[in-house]
C-alpha cells in the first residue's frame, strides 16, 4: 500500500498545525462559529447532538494494521472505546472534545492518516472498490489512480470552496461494488480498442433530497488526462452552480438544469483548456505511486480445498468468502452487522483483532466497504479456519454478507443533528425479525438501506428495500422504498406510499419480503422479482 | 484601503473599478470589478487595457472568485488582481495560488496571521496560477 514520502508527511503535519491554529483562534474568539464551521468541516469535525464527531479519512478504504491499531488507540484515549465505519469507507468518532481534536489529528499523522476534506464543500475522500487488487474481475488495481487523485485534489486552490460537496469514486471492474453511479464524478477504468488504459467517466450522480444517477459524460478519457477532465468538470460547476439555495447547489442539479449535452459541451471546452496548462501528473509519478500497489508476494502451489467439517465455519465460508484472483487465496469479508448490534460500529478490541489477523494472514491489508463491513483481501484458503476462529472469538463472525440483516444505516437521530428519525433501532428490529439463519439464506441477496433524513447517508435510494426516516408532526415516521440498486444495475428506489411508525415499517418490510417469496422464480433475487413483476404487486402486498 | 494587503511592486491603481458591463462599454476604463456570478471570460478580449481587476467576494464561502481569478491569469492577465469583500485569513493562501495579488478585506486581517497562513504549507500538490512547483515535479526533477 502507499507510503508517504517527506512531502506527503509535511503536508499532513502542516494541516495539523493549521487546524490547531484555527481551533486556537476560535477559542480565543478571533473567529465566530459561522466562520469556524466551514473550516472545521473541511477537517471532518461536526457538531452533533451530544458532542463533536470527527470523521477520519480512509482513502479508497485501505488500511494497514498499524493504522487500525492507531484508530483503536484513539478510540480508547479520546472517545468511548469504539468507532463507526461509514458508507464512504471512512471512520467516525462520535464523542470528541473540540480542544482535543488537533491532538487526534497529530496522532493520525504519525500513521500517515488525516481527516482532510472528509466533510464540507470540498472534494471528499475518494472511494474505491474494496476488493481492489484481489478481485478476479478487475482490469487493474484502481488504487494507484485513487491515490494520485487524492494528492491532486487535496488542498486544491481553486476547488476548496465549492458550491457543495463533491464525491469521486474509482473502480476497474464490470461489477460495481462501490455504488459508482451515485457519485458526483464516477470513474471506471477501461481499456480502449488499442489496449490503452483510460476512464469511462460519469457525472452528476448523488443521493440526498434530489437523487440522480450519474450519466456517462465520456466513453473514454485517456488515463494520463483524467485530472484535467475532473478539473474541467469542477470548473464548470464551480462557476455556474447556484449559490442561493443549499439544496440546489450539488453538481447533479446543474447537470439537470443545463441538460446533459450542454454540460458535456462546456466540460469538453474547459477540458481542452486544462490540457494546455500542464496540470496533469506525469507518467513517472503514476509509476511511482503504482509501485506501492504491486501485488503482494502470493505463494504458489497452495491447496484450493477448504475443510468444511465444521458446519458453522462452512456457513461462514459460503456467505463471507469471495473468489480471489490468485490460486489458493480468498477474499474474507468481516461482518460488522451482528444481530441487534449497531451496524458499522467496532470496538477498539475488535479493531486490534482485525489488525492482528491482517498482519498475520492478509499481507497487512484491511479494507472498509461502503456497506460498513471490513475485508481481509488476501487470505490463504488454508488459513480461513484460523481466521474464522479468531473472528468468532471477537464476535465478528456473523455470516450475513448481502443478506437481509446486512443493513446499511446512518447514525440517525441517536447522534446526528440533521436527522429527523432514528435509524439504528429500525435496523436492529429488522435484524431481529429476520434473525433466523435459514430464513436469511433462503431469501438470499437483499440489501436494506436506512437513512434517518433526506440527506440519504444511509443510501436509501439505492436499497433493494430503502427506508427513509421523516419527522411527521413531531413523531418519527418511516417511508418505504423499493427497487433501488447501488450495483452495476444502478436504479433509484421508488417510494411505496404513506409512511409507517417504527414497528409498522418492520411489518411492511416483512410483507414485501413475503411477497417476493411467493412470487419469485427459481434463482431470482428480491430485486429481480421486483423488476419482473413490478411495483404494483408489491405495493398491494404492503398496503393491502 | 487602510487594511489593503498588496503583493506587487508597482504603484496601486487609484482609478475606481467600474462594473463589468460598464467596462465593456467604456473604452477608456482600465479598472473593472467582477462580481460573483459574472462571467470573467467576457473580459478576455479586453485584457490589454485592464490594469486592475477587482473580484467581489460576497461571502467567504462563495468560491467562484478562485475560478474567476484563474481564468484571467490563464488568459495572460498580468495586472493587479484584487480580492474585495468577505475575506478570511484562511482563504488567502488559496487566493494567492489562484493569482490574486492584492486584498481588500471588509474586516481587517491580522498581518501576522496572514504571514503564518502563507508560509504554513512548504509545498503544494498541484500547479496553479502562482508558479509554485508541484510536489510531483520535485519528486521527479
Burial (Cβ within 10 Å: 0-12, 13-18, ≥19) of residue A291: exposed
Instruction: Identify whether the C-beta of residue A444 lies closer than 8 Å to the C-beta of residue A526.
Output: yes
Instruction: Express as a percent the part of chain A with pLDDT over 70.
Output: 100
Give the pLDDT confidence score for residue A50 in this predicted structure: 86
Instruction: Identify whether the C-beta of residue A56 lies closer than 8 Å to the C-beta of residue A115.
Output: yes
DSSP states of A179-234 as a string?
-GGGSSEEEEEEE-TT--EEEEEEE--B-TTS-BPPEEEEEEEEGGGHHHHHHHHH
Query: In Å, how far is B85's CA from the nearest CA of chain A?
Result: 14
Task: Locate all alpha helices (DSSP H) within A424-522, ordered by sequence.
Answer: 424-433, 437-443, 502-519
Interface of A with B (CB under 8 A): 5, 7-8, 10-11, 14, 17-18, 21-22, 25, 30-31, 35, 38-39, 121, 151-152, 154-163, 235, 238-239, 243, 273, 277-279, 281-282, 284-285, 288
Question: Which of A31, A35, A152 faces B125 most closely, judged by CB atoms?
Answer: A152
Give the pLDDT confidence score for residue A151 in this predicted structure: 98
Residue with cell 439464506: A441
- Phi then psi for residue A437, to 5 deg, are -65, -35
Q: What burial letters (b/e) apply to A227-242, b meaning 16+ CB within 10 Å?
A: bbbbbbbbbbbbbbbb
For β-strands A345-347 and A82-85, DSSP reports them as antiparallel
Looking at residue A104, the DSSP 8-state letter turns out to be H
Task: Give the pLDDT mean for A364-387.
Answer: 98
Give the pLDDT confidence score for residue A122 in this predicted structure: 96
Task: Give the pLDDT mean for A418-433.
Answer: 96
In sequence order, the β-bridge partners of residue B45 are none
CATH 3.40.50.620 for domain A311-393, yes or no, is: no
Give the pLDDT confidence score for residue A48 in this predicted structure: 87
Residue B133: pLDDT above 80? yes
A346: which 3 cell numbers? 467496532
Task: Locate all alpha helices (DSSP H) within A362-401, ordered by sequence.
Answer: 384-393
Give the pLDDT confidence score for residue A49 in this predicted structure: 86
Give the pLDDT confidence score for residue A242 in this predicted structure: 92
Q: How far apart are CA B49 and CA A46, in angstroms?
A: 47
Strands, E, within B10-110: which ranges? 18-19, 31-34, 52-57, 80-85, 102-105
- Chain B residues with CB under 8 Å of A102 CB are none
Give the pLDDT confidence score for residue A214 in this predicted structure: 98
Question: Which tens digit of pLDDT belongs to each residue from A146-166?
Answer: 999 999 999 999 999 999 999
Give the pLDDT confidence score for residue B25 in this predicted structure: 95
Instruction: Express as a percent the part of chain A with pLDDT over 90.
Output: 95
For β-strands B31-34 and B18-19, DSSP reports them as parallel
Q: How far apart are CA A338 and CA A315, in angstroms?
A: 15
User: CATH number for the domain including B64?
Assistant: 3.40.50
B136 Cβ under 8 Å from any chain A Cβ: yes
Contact A243 B125 (CB under 8 A): no
Instruction: Identify whether the C-beta of residue B79 lies closer than 8 Å to the C-beta of residue B72.
Output: no
- Chain B residues with CB under 8 Å of A157 CB are 66, 93-95, 97-98, 124, 126, 128, 130
CATH of A142-291, one of 3.30.413.10, 3.40.50.150, 2.40.50.140, 3.30.70.890: 3.30.413.10
- Phi then psi for residue A61, to 5 deg, are 65, 25
Residue A487: pLDDT above 50? yes
Question: Which of B61, B98, B120 faces A158 most closely, judged by CB atoms?
Answer: B98
- Chain A residues with CB under 8 Å of B94 CB are 155, 157-158, 160-161
Residue B4: pLDDT above 80? no
Looking at residue A135, the DSSP 8-state letter turns out to be B
Q: How far apart are CA A26 and CA B61, in angstroms?
A: 17
Q: Which residue of B has its CA nearest to A120?
A: B61
In sequence order, the β-bridge partners of residue A479 are A468
Give the pLDDT confidence score for residue A334 in this predicted structure: 98
Contact A159 B124 (CB under 8 A): no
Residue B107 exposure: Cα atoms within 13 Å on the Cβ side: 12
B23 Cβ under 8 Å from any chain A Cβ: no
Give the pLDDT confidence score for residue B104 in this predicted structure: 95
Query: In Å, how far is B121's CA from the nearest CA of chain A?
Result: 6
- Chain B residues with CB under 8 Å of A282 CB are 136, 140
Question: Which of B110, B130, B138 faces A7 most closely, judged by CB atoms?
Answer: B138
Looking at residue A325, the DSSP 8-state letter turns out to be S
| Sequence-ordered list of residues with C-beta below 8 angstroms from that of A230, at least 6 positions apart, any chain | A149, A152, A153, A168, A185
Q: Identify the domain containing residue B109 by its residue range.
A: 5-140
Looking at residue A520, the DSSP 8-state letter turns out to be P
- Chain A residues with CB under 8 Å of B126 CB are 152, 156-157, 279
A534: which 3 cell numbers? 413490478
Question: Which of B93, B120, B126 faces A156 most closely, judged by CB atoms?
Answer: B126
- Angle of CA points A308, A310, A315, to nearest 5°: 70
Contact A282 B140 (CB under 8 A): yes
A78: which 3 cell numbers? 479520546
Question: Which of B74, B88, B98 faces A35 most closely, judged by CB atoms?
Answer: B88
Q: Which residue of B has its CA nearest to A154?
A: B125
Say which CATH topology domain A408-543 has.
Answer: Sulfite Reductase Hemoprotein; domain 1 (3.30.413)
Residue A222 exposure: Cα atoms within 13 Å on the Cβ side: 11
- The per-type count for chain B, helices as H runs and strands as E runs, is 5, 6
DSSP states of A158-178 as a string?
SSSS-SS-B-EEEE-SSS-SS
Question: Which tens digit of pLDDT belongs to each residue from A430-481?
Answer: 999 999 999 999 999 999 999 999 999 999 999 999 999 999 888 999 999 9
Question: Which tens digit of pLDDT belongs to each residue from A177-211?
Answer: 999 999 999 999 999 999 999 999 999 999 999 99
The count of other CB atoms within 10 Å of the CB of residue A438 is: 7
Contact B123 A10 (CB under 8 A): yes
Q: Which of A211, A163, A197, A203 is CA-nearest to residue A180? A: A203
Task: Give the pLDDT mean for A46-56.
Answer: 92
Q: For an interface test with A, which of B40, B88, B90 has the most A Cβ atoms less than 10 Å from its Cβ?
A: B90
Give the pLDDT confidence score for residue B1 in this predicted structure: 43
- CATH 3.30.70.3340 residue ranges for chain A: 311-393
Q: Which of A146, A133, A243 is CA-nearest to residue A186? A: A146
Question: Which of A8, A21, A239 faces B67 most closely, judged by CB atoms?
Answer: A239
Residue A483: pLDDT above 70? yes
- Angle of CA points A291, A297, A301, to nearest 5°: 150
Mean pLDDT, chain A, rounded, equals 96
- Chain A residues with CB under 8 Å of B120 CB are 14, 17-18
Architecture of domain A6-109: Alpha-Beta Complex (3.90)
- Chain B residues with CB under 8 Å of A121 CB are 61, 63
Task: Give the pLDDT mean for A505-527.
Answer: 98
3-class SS of residue B9: coil
Ramachandran area for residue A208 (φ above 0: left; ψ -120 to 50: alpha; else beta): left
Question: Which tens digit of pLDDT belongs to each residue from B74-103?
Answer: 999 999 999 999 999 999 999 999 999 999
- Phi then psi for residue A327, to 5 deg, are -60, 140
Instruction: Identify whether the C-beta of residue A32 lies closer than 8 Å to the C-beta of residue B88.
Output: no
Contact A288 B113 (CB under 8 A): no
Looking at residue B17, the DSSP 8-state letter turns out to be P
Give the pLDDT confidence score for residue B102 in this predicted structure: 96
Residue A454 exposure: Cα atoms within 13 Å on the Cβ side: 6
- Chain B residues with CB under 8 Å of A161 CB are 60-63, 66, 91, 94
Question: Which tens digit of pLDDT belongs to each residue from A263-298?
Answer: 999 999 999 999 999 999 999 999 999 999 999 999
Query: In Å, how far is B84's CA from the nearest CA of chain A?
Result: 16
Question: Which of B64, B91, B94 faces A239 most closely, judged by CB atoms?
Answer: B64
Contact A238 B63 (CB under 8 A): yes
Give the pLDDT confidence score for residue B2 in this predicted structure: 41
Residue B14: pLDDT above 90? no
Question: Which tens digit of pLDDT belongs to each residue from B15-61?
Answer: 999 999 999 999 999 999 999 999 999 999 999 999 999 999 999 99
Residue A108: pLDDT above 80? yes
Ramachandran area for residue B84 (φ above 0: left; ψ -120 to 50: alpha; else beta): beta
Give the pLDDT confidence score for residue A544 in this predicted structure: 84
Q: For an interface test with A, which of B39, B69, B114, B125 has the most A Cβ atoms less than 10 Å from its Cβ?
A: B125
Q: For an interface test with B, which of A39, A59, A161 has the most B Cβ atoms less than 10 Å from its Cβ?
A: A161
Question: Which of B60, B63, B110 faces A162 most closely, judged by CB atoms?
Answer: B63
Question: Which of B94, B120, B125 faces A154 most closely, judged by CB atoms?
Answer: B125
Amino acid at each position: 500500500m502507499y507510503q508517504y514520502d517527506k512531502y506527503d508527511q509535511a503536508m499532513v503535519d502542516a494541516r495539523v498545525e493549521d487546524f490547531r491554529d484555527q481551533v486556537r483562534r476560535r477559542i480565543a474568539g478571533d473567529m465566530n462559529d459561522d466562520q469556524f464551521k466551514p473550516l472545521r468541516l473541511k477537517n471532518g469535525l461536526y457538531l452533533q447532538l451530544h458532542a463533536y464527531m470527527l470523521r477520519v479519512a480512509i482513502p479508497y478504504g485501505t488500511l494497514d494494521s498499524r493504522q487500525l491499531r492507531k484508530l483503536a488507540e484513539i478510540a480508547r484515549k479520546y472517545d468511548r472505546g469504539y468507532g463507526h465505519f461509514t458508507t464512504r469507507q471512512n471512520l467516525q468518532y462520535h464523542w470528541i472534545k473540540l480542544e482535543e481534536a488537533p491532538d487526534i489529528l497529530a496522532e493520525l499523522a504519525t500513521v500517515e492518516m488525516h481527516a482532510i476534506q472528509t466533510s464540507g464543500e470540498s472534494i471528499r475522500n475518494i472511494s474505491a472498490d474494496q476488493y481492489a487488487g484481489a478481485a478476479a474481475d478487475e482490469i487493474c488495481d484502481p488504487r494507484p489512480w485513487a491515490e494520485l487523485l487524492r494528492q491532486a485534489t487535496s488542498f486544491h486552490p481553486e476547488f476548496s470552496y465549492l458550491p457543495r460537496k463533491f464525491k469521486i469514486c474509482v473502480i476497474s471492474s464490470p461489477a460495481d461494488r462501490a455504488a459508482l453511479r451515485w457519485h458526483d464524478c464516477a470513474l471506471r477504468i477501461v481499456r480502449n480498442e488499442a489496449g490503452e488504459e483510460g476512464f469511462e467517466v460519469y457525472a452528476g450522480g448523488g443521493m440526498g433530497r434530489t437523487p440522480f444517477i450519474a450519466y456517462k459524460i465520456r466513453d473514454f478519457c485517456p488515463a494520463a488526462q483524467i485530472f484535467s477532465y475532473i478539473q474541467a468538470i469542477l470548473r464548470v460547476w464551480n462557476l455556474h452552480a447556484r449559490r442561493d439555495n443549499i439544496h440546489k447547489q450539488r453538481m447533479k442539479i446543474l447537470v439537470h438544469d443545463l441538460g446533459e449535452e450542454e454540460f458535456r459541451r462546456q466540460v469538453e471546452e474547459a477540458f481542452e483548456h486544462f490540457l494546455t496548462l500542464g496540470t496533469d501528473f506525469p507518467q513517472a509519478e503514476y509509476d511511482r505511486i503504482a509501485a506501492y500497489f504491486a501485488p503482494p508476494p502470493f505463494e504458489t502451489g497452495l491447496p484450493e480445498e477448504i475443510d468444511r467439517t465444521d458446519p458453522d465455519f462452512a456457513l461462514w465460508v459460503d456467505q463471507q468468502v469471495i473468489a480471489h484472483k490468485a490460486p489458493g487465496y480468498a477474499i474474507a469479508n468481516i461482518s460488522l452487522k451482528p444481530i441487534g448490534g449497531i451496524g458499522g460500529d467496532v470496538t477498539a478490541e475488535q479493531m486490534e483483532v482485525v489488525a492482528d489477523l491482517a498482519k498475520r494472514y492478509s499481507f497487512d491489508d484491511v479494507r472498509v466497504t461502503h456497506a460498513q463491513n471490513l475485508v481481509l483481501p488476501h487470505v490463504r484458503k488454508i488459513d480461513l479456519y484460523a481466521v474464522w476462529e479468531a473472528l468468532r472469538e471477537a464476535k465478528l463472525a456473523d455470516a450475513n454478507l448481502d443478506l437481509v440483516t446486512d443493513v446499511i444505516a446512518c447514525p440517525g437521530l441517536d447522534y446526528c443533528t440533521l436527522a429527523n428519525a432514528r435509524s439504528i433501532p429500525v435496523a436492529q428490529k429488522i435484524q431481529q425479525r429476520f434473525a433466523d439463519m435459514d430464513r436469511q439464506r433462503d431469501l438470499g441477496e437483499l440489501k436494506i438501506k436506512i437513512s434517518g433524513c433526506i440527506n440519504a447517508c444511509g443510501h436509501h435510494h439505492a436499497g433493494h428495500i430503502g427506508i427513509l426516516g421523516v419527522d411527521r408532526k413531531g413523531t418519527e415516521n418511516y417511508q418505504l422504498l423499493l427497487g433501488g440498486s447501488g450495483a452495476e444495475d444502478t436504479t433509484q428506489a421508488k417510494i411505496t406510499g404513506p409512511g409507517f411508525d417504527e414497528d409498522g415499517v418492520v411489518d411492511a418490510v416483512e410483507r414485501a419480503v413475503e411477497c417476493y417469496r411467493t412470487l419469485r422464480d427459481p434463482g431470482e433475487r428480491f430485486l429481480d422479482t421486483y423488476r419482473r413483476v413490478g411495483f404494483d404487486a408489491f405495493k398491494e402486498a404492503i398496503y393491502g | 484601503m487602510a487594511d489593503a494587503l498588496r503583493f506587487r511592486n508597482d504603484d496601486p491603481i487609484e482609478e475606481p473599478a467600474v462594473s463589468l458591463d460598464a467596462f465593456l462599454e467604456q473604452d477608456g476604463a482600465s479598472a473593472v470589478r467582477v462580481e460573483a456570478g459574472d462571467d470573467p471570460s467576457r473580459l478576455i478580449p479586453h485584457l490589454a487595457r485592464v490594469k486592475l481587476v477587482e473580484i467581489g467576494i460576497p461571502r467567504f464561502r462563495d468560491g467562484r472568485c478562485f475560478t474567476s481569478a484563474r481564468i484571467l491569469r490563464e488568459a495572460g492577465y498580468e495586472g493587479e488582481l484584487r480580492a474585495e469583500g468577505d475575506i478570511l485569513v484562511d482563504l488567502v493562501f488559496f487566493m494567492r495560488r489562484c493569482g490574486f495579488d492584492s486584498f481588500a478585506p471588509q474586516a481587517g486581517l491580522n498581518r501576522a496571521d496572514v504571514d503564518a497562513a502563507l508560509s504554513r504549507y512548504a509545498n503544494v500538490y498541484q500547479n496553479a496560477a502562482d508558479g509554485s512547483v508541484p510536489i510531483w515535479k520535485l519528486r521527479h526533477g
